[in-house]
């Protein structure tokens, strides 16, 4: 819960989320994997994009359905170390786009 007038804190990078900065709700268990109506966390949009660029929906549902698990994932840990040194309103493109499922051949 955020006190009146206080900026929310991104639980991934632990930086404040100022008003007007792109933000989004992340379903800890993806909606398509049974998380509709489940717990969500408010993140910087850049942090949310990095999560989905790093992990598939199945990986998120199975192994990375808590903030602690997300922070422990090696690529996300490296990203957090990098982005936490940036100002709270920092924006950047996330390289690589969304993680694609591998096709069975």
pLDDT digits (tens, 9 = 90+) for 38-93: 999 999 999 999 999 999 999 999 999 999 999 999 999 999 999 999 988 888 76
Residue 48, token pair as written in the block: 């949310």
Q: What is the pLDDT of residue 54?
A: 95
| CB half-sphere exposure, 97, CA atoms < 13 A | 2
Radius of gyration of the chain (CA): 14
Q: Model's pTM, two decimal places?
A: 0.81
Q: Which two tokens stand for residue 16?
A: 């404040």
Q: Which helix (H) or strand (E) holds 27?
A: strand 23-27
- Positive or negative: CA dihedral 82, 52, 60, 9: positive
Domain ranges of the chain: 23-83
Q: How far apart are CA 74 and CA 103, in angstroms?
A: 24
């Amino acid at each position: 819960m955020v006190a009146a007038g206080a900026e929310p804190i991104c639980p991934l990078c632990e930086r404040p989320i100022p008003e007007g900065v792109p933000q989004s709700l992340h379903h800890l268990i993806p909606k398509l994997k049974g998380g509709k109506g489940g717990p969500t966390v408010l993140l910087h949009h850049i942090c949310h994009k990095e999560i989905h660029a790093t992990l598939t929906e199945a990986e998120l549902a199975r192994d990375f359905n808590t903030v602690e698990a997300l922070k422990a994932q090696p690529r996300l840990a490296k990203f957090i170390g990098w982005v936490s040194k940036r100002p709270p309103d920092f924006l950047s493109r996330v390289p690589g786009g969304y993680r694609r499922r591998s096709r069975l051949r």
